[in-house]
Amino acid sequence: MIHRRTLFAAALAALTLAACSTTKVANTPLAPGQFEWHPERSRSGPVLMVVSIDDQMAFVYRNGVEIARSTVSTGRKGKATPTGVFTILQKRVEHESSIYKGAQMPYMQRLTWGGIAMHAGELPGYPASAGCVRLPLAFSEKLYGVMDHGGTVVITKKGSVPSRSGRPADILMASKATAPENRAIPAPGGEVIWEPSKSPSGPFSILVSYADKTAYVWRNGIRIGQSPIGIAPGTTPPEGVFLMLDGVEPRDPNFPGMEIHPWAVLSLDGGNAGADAVSSLRAGISLPLDFRKKVNKLITPGTILLATRESSNSATRSARDFTIMKPEGAE
């Protein structure tokens, strides 16, 4: 389980209906250094990588379908790999550590500016790194080719499995059935900020903090928007990492004229996020109509929305490492 003191990502965004669960690669045990790679299972779409420290395994999902899994070696005692939600900050085929001089890090994909990355390295079958996620060399090369700058990596203690939304809909756009006037949700009050010119392009993500009763919008690591949210009394909206997938679902009469995309949802506490997480999130919160419209114009496949009960403030953020949701006490 991820500890609850967190540091939130600027470039962050599972439903468990059996008929809509994600396709998985076979679960036969892998020896240290082994991996499986099946890109033909899903040839396009947003990529999400999930690393399980307890299992010493990594899983790669493309458009909600598991296309690969690999053994890994994470941080040893005293040099723990931080758990949380990360984005790829930098990519280099050849890289030498600036902390451990002479240490080669082939196919390096940086997760924090403080020294945490994914790269090829020795895999003894147990946590042995100085905090990085070591991968088999051939797997590192393949992963390097499918992960984009700004791509999402979730590192958890306990393995989680994302699943595809069974009743997809744009998360923040209220439907006719869930319009504020039809729900007992207090109207959100407070300042609305919308400054897209501060960052015209780049990875786009949303952080919904139930503690702050606020939605934060980030693009390329820069806050471009912020709005108060209303939360339905007596409800606990779901937490998790929501990822918009490629593809268009059948038209929904509650969303006339809108293209409806599927979403995948990943629990941060292991297991599944729970049934109807997308619908529950949409029905459990309200935002000002004008703000919702502006945000939905920017949401595209690959957008990440992170929903959490934790606060986002100066005590839980880092100016330079603002690309991670970090647990309390992590190295």
Whichever domain contains 109, its CATH number is 2.40.440.10
- Are residues 148 and 268 located together in one domain of the fold? no
- Are residues 197 and 139 located together in one domain of the fold? no
Residue 95 within any structural domain of the chain = yes
Point out which residues pair with 242 in neighbouring strands. 265, 305
Q: What residue type is assigned to position 167 of the chain?
A: R
Which token pair is 201?
């392009």
CB 312 within 8 A of CB 203: no
> Minimal CA–CA distance to 50: which of 164, 203, 160, 206?
160
274: left (phi over 0), alpha (psi -120 to 50) or beta: left
> Minimal CA–CA distance to 224: which of 193, 252, 254, 255?
193
Task: Note the maximum CA span of the chain.
Answer: 63
Point out which residues pair with 60 in neighbouring strands. 49, 68
Tokens 């603002």 belong to residue: 322
| Boundary (domain end) residue, out of 156, 187, 217 | 156
Q: Mean pLDDT over residues 2-31, rounded? A: 44
Whichever domain contains 227, its CATH number is 2.40.440
Q: Mean pLDDT over residues 101-106, rounded? A: 74
What confidence tier does 176 reach under pLDDT thresholds 50, 70, 90? very low
List pLDDT tens digits, range 259-274: 777 888 888 776 666 5
Residue 11 within any structural domain of the chain = no
- Are residues 210 and 91 located together in one domain of the fold? no
- Are residues 218 and 264 located together in one domain of the fold? yes
More confident position, 75 or 15: 75
| Boundary (domain end) residue, out of 128, 156, 184 | 156
| Residues listed for the chain | 331
Q: How far apart are CA 166 and CA 148, in angstroms?
A: 27
Task: Give the DSSP H/E element, type plus range, for residue 305.
Answer: strand 304-308
β pairing state of 84-87 and 57-62: unpaired
- Are residues 202 and 286 located together in one domain of the fold? yes
- Are residues 147 and 37 located together in one domain of the fold? yes
At residue 11, the pLDDT reads 31
Residue 299 within any structural domain of the chain = yes
Residue 324 within any structural domain of the chain = no
- Are residues 126 and 172 located together in one domain of the fold? no
Q: Which domain holds residue 120?
A: 23-156
- Are residues 296 and 207 located together in one domain of the fold? yes
pLDDT at 137 over 90: yes
Q: How far apart are CA 57 and CA 160, in angstroms?
A: 11
CB 193 within 8 A of CB 295: no
- Are residues 185 and 89 located together in one domain of the fold? no
What pTM was computed for the model? 0.79
At residue 166, the pLDDT reads 54
DSSP 69: E
- Are residues 145 and 238 located together in one domain of the fold? no
At residue 101, the pLDDT reads 61
β pairing state of 108-110 and 90-92: antiparallel
Residue 91 main-chain phi, psi, to 5 deg:
-135, 135
β pairing state of 304-308 and 204-209: parallel
List pLDDT tens digits, range 213-248: 999 998 877 889 999 998 888 877 888 888 888 877
At residue 59, the pLDDT reads 95
- Are residues 192 and 85 located together in one domain of the fold? no
Residue 114 within any structural domain of the chain = yes
The total domain count for the chain is 2
DSSP 148: P
Average predicted confidence (pLDDT) for the chain: 77
- Are residues 270 and 214 located together in one domain of the fold? yes
At residue 117, the pLDDT reads 92
